Each structure stands twice: as C-alpha cells, then as structure tokens.
C-alpha cells in the first residue's frame, strides 16, 4: 500500500503547487488589474481614510475642505459655497468618482502624487497620519462670487471667464445653472445616488462646466480674429473695407445682411475701425474672403483656437473654425458663424491676448501646490505660448475695441474706466429665425493698462429672447465683473 500512498502524497503536492501557481497569477500578475478595478471599493475606502487636501482660493478662502466623521469613510468632503465654485472645484463622490479639479489634481489631493513622496516617507517614520496635499487656485473668491451672482440672480444660463492678461491666471470661472457638490460628497449612498440622478437628468445641465466643456458659435466676437489677420496682412484701422448693407454669398442667392441692415461708412466702404465698431457683417465676410481660409486659420490658431489637449488643468474642449469647404462658408466664417465653435475660455484667452500686446499666455487655475503642512511645493510660472499679434497691431485692435465699446448699448457702463470690448450675437440652431441667439461680450480693461480680460456668454439671450444682443444682455454682466475687479483694487 505504500506505493499508492506515496502517489497520493505526490498528488497532494501537485494540488498545493497548483494553488500556489494560481495564487501567484491572482496576487502578482493580475494584482494591478484587480486593485484598480472600479468595482473594487478598497481604493475609494483607502482614499477616504486619508485626509484629502484642500482646494483654496487665491486669497486663502477654503473652497473644498474635509470634516472628520465617525462613519466608515472617515473624512467628509465639504464645499463652502458649493454652487458658486462647482465649475472650478468639481465634485468628489465615492460612487461616481471625481470631477473638475478634484479629478485633475486627484493624485496630489489624495496624497499619492510623487511630489509628496518625501513627506509620505517622513509620515511613515514619524507615525503621523498621511494627508493629501492642497491646491491654491488663481481664482479670486470675491470676483467669482460676483460673476456667479450676475448670472444666477437673473436666472441666466451662461458663463463668465476672467483672466489676468499678463499671466494667464484664471480669476473667475462661473457657470450657471450650477449644482452643489456637497450633494455628491455625502456619505449617504442613497442620497448621493438620488442627487446624481436628478443632476444628470436635469435638462438645464447644471453639472456642465460651460466655460471649458461647451463650444458655441462666437458670432461677431470672431471679427477680432479676422481683424487681427487683416492687420497682420498690412491693413490698418483706417483701411477701407466693404460697407454695403447686404451682400450675396457667391454662387448662391443667399443674402448676408448687416445687423438690422445697418449702413457702414458711406454705404459702399467704411474704415476697418468703423466696421468693427459697428460690427458690419459684410465688411468682415468680404475681408475673410480676401484673406483666404489659410490665413484665417493661422491667425485663429495663434489665438489658441483649434488647440487640442489644453488642460488648465481641467481639460478644455478644443475650439475650431470648421472645415471651410467653399466660398460661402468662408464668408460666413468671417462673421463667426457656419462651423466656428469656441469655448468661452478660448474667447477669454482671445481678449487676454489682445490685452497683453498680442502675447498669448497659457491660462491656468492652479497657483500653488501645497504640502499637507501648507508649505508651497511648487508655483505655476506664467507660460508664454505664442505671439499671436505684433504689438502695434494689438494696440490698433485695442483702439478699435475701445470704439466698439463706445458703440455698444446696454447698461452698467463704468465711469473713469476705458473698456475695450467686442460683442457678439450668435445665431444658432437649424432655423435661425426661431432659435434665440447667444449673447457674447469679450472685453478687457483698463484699455491703457489691462488688468483683466473677460468673456461672457448668455445662452439663448436670456430673458431678452429674440431681441437679445451681446450689448444688451452680456455687456452689463461683463462690465459689472470688470467693475468689481477694478473697484476692489
């Protein structure tokens, strides 16, 4: 009986070897897959057991912090003034993951970032509880509040983006309607699910960050790009351009009229400055055609339109001027219609670039990365991306925008401050006569020494409906934001 017993022994060894082999497969080879699987709650639980870092505004106001709890997820994420800052902070949910900066800076906030490595080691040795790092933003808390209030108090759907032209710091980024990220941070799973359902099925899309994740036809604000290209081609603000009230698109019977069929200049020609100030469609359509699609595309690219993979560090949806397949398209592109689509962020960058003498700075939201003890680990250096315009062309364009501002209706004009601006009233939708236009306002001030550049869009013109224009709806909001910023200095 000993021979079969020995064979049984061999069989037992074989079984154990099989188990060890399979355990190696599961615990060593497949380990990472299993560890990182979204169904594996351990990762989330571990994140919650470590104190997540804060998100704070430029002046130190905490926007996202943590609160110690006595339930299984040790730390509760809390957002002071949630809806105002939601487009910036994003949300942090144990069911739905993270959005906004919570996602973009997750490694730093949860403490796994390499920049925190040395501190993690020292925590391990000294026995301190490991904490995540914090993020200090460029966002001016008061300005953000003003921007949000301007939109929200009127129940508007839209966004305000403000940038410091010299550095690219994003001073404000409001988007309405907004949501309260506290609803998604709660440790009550059912409440979280309910809120998520409500927010994601809401037709007004409160969780959409319109500043960077939505593209709109820029309308007349795009004329700034065309004007810049024309200046680069040797035109001046006094060059004569087309001033007819209406033209026929080549090869079609379609009329392209000026707004309200306005006459520019003498009705045949007008200066470039007057054409921009009065926002003459015919002038810029013809100008676009003269320049050609390539020059237009180049100039747009220099302003950052068409840039892929922009992250501030929130990802920014690429803007585009479209394929421009034929002449009529080129004409329409010249007035920011057809397939031109930009994010409000891109339009704010456009204004900031002109304000900065033609030098385009990389927009960014994060000012400093802070260690858990709030010591700065790194600071964002202003990053010059491109020289979009010659300085004297930028100055010329600025002067033209100052004239434009003088021509712009709407309330809220500021005393003692010269604003350089351009409005836009962008038609969209299949039947443009029935859908209400988007109202745009891009501006910077003070024109002589710009400190702030902004882009404002109010979707579908807000309450003004069909009668909405950039000047009437968006300009007062922009002026209020500029006023608040300059007045607060």
Question: Looking at the annotation, which residues are catalytic?
Answer: 220
Least Cβ distance, residue 349 to another protein (angstroms): 43
Which one, 19 or 121, has the nearer CB to another protein?
Answer: 19
Q: Is 377 exposed, middle or buried (0-12, 13-18, 19+ CB in 10 A)?
A: middle
Find out whether 383 and 167 touch, Cβ atoms under 8 Å.
Answer: no
3-state secondary structure 202-266: CCCCCCCCHHHHCCECCHHHHHHHHHHHHHHCCCCCCCEEECCCEEECCCCCCEEECHHHCCCCC
Which one, 121 or 376, has the nearer CB to another protein?
Answer: 121
Which one, 20 or 191, has the nearer CB to another protein?
Answer: 20
DSSP string, 137-164: ES--HHHHHHHHHHHHTTT--EEEEEE-
Least Cβ distance, residue 9 to another protein (angstroms): 5
Which one, 42 or 128, has the nearer CB to another protein?
Answer: 42
Least Cβ distance, residue 24 to another protein (angstroms): 6
- The footprint of another protein (CB under 8 A) covers 1-9, 11-13, 15-16, 18-20, 22-24, 26-28, 30-35, 37, 39-42, 45, 70-72
Least Cβ distance, residue 333 to another protein (angstroms): 48
Find all residues with CB under 8 Å of 441, minimum gap 6, and list them.
221, 421, 422, 423, 424, 454, 455, 456, 457, 470, 471, 474, 475, 477, 478
Q: How far is CA 408 from CA 282, 286, 464, in A?
A: 19, 23, 16
Structure token digits, residue 351:
């204004």
Find out whether 353 and 387 touch, Cβ atoms under 8 Å.
Answer: no
Residue 279 phi, psi dihedral angles, 5° rounding? 55, 55
Least Cβ distance, residue 10 to another protein (angstroms): 10
Find out whether 345 and 374 touch, Cβ atoms under 8 Å.
Answer: no
Location of structure tokens 């401050």: 417
Which one, 89 or 192, has the nearer CB to another protein?
Answer: 192
Which one, 14 or 432, has the nearer CB to another protein?
Answer: 14
Least Cβ distance, residue 77 to another protein (angstroms): 18
């Amino acid at each position: 009986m000993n021979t079969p017993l020995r064979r049984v022994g061999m069989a037992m060894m074989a079984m154990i070897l099989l188990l060890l082999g399979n355990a190696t497969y599961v615990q060593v080879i497949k380990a990472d897959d299993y560890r990182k699987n979204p169904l594996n709650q351990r990762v989330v639980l571990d994140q919650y057991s470590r104190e997540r870092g804060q998100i704070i505004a430029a002046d130190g106001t905490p926007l996202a912090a943590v609160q110690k709890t006595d339930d299984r997820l040790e730390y509760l994420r809390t957002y002071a003034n949630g809806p105002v800052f939601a487009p910036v902070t994003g949300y942090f949910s144990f069911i739905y993951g993270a959005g906004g900066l919570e996602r973009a800076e997750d490694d730093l906030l949860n403490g796994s970032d390499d920049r925190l490595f040395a501190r993690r080691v020292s925590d391990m040795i000294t026995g301190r509880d490991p904490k995540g790092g914090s993020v200090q933003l460029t966002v001016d808390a008061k300005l953000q509040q003003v921007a949000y209030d301007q939109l929200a108090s009127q129940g508007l759907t839209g966004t305000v983006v403000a940038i410091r032209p010299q550095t690219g710091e994003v001073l404000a980024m409001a988007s309405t309607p907004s949501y309260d990220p506290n609803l998604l941070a709660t440790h009550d799973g059912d409440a979280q699910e309910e809120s998520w359902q409500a927010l994601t099925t809401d037709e007004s899309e409160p969780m959409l960050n319109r500043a960077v994740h939505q593209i709109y036809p820029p309308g007349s604000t795009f004329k700034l790009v065309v004007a810049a290209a024309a200046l680069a081609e040797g035109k001046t603000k006094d060059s004569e351009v087309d001033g007819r009230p209406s033209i026929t698109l080549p090869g079609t019977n379609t009329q392209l009229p000026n707004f309200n069929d306005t006459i520019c200049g003498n009705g045949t020609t007008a200066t470039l400055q007057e054409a921009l100030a009065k926002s003459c469609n015919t002038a810029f359509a013809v100008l676009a055609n003269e320049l050609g699609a390539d020059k237009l595309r180049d100039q747009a690219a220099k302003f950052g339109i068409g840039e892929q993979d922009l992250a501030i560090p929130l990802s920014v949806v690429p803007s585009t001027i479209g394929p421009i397949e034929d002449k009529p398209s080129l004409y329409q592109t010249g007035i920011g219609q057809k397939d031109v689509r930009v994010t409000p962020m891109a339009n704010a960058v456009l204004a900031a670039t002109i304000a900065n003498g033609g030098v385009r700075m990389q927009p960014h939201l994060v000012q400093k990365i802070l260690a858990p003890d709030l010591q700065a680990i790194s600071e964002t250096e202003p990053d010059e991306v491109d020289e979009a315009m010659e300085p004297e062309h930028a100055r010329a364009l600025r002067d033209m925008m100052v004239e434009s501002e003088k021509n712009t209706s709407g309330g809220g004009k500021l005393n003692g401050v010269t604003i350089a601006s351009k409005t836009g009233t962008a038609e969209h939708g299949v039947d443009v006569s029935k859908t209400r236009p988007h109202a745009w306002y891009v501006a910077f001030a003070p024109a002589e020494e710009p400190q702030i550049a902004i882009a404002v869009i109010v979707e579908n013109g807000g309450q003004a409906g069909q009668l909405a224009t950039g000047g009437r709806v968006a300009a007062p909001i922009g002026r209020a934001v500029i006023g608040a910023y300059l007045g607060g200095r």
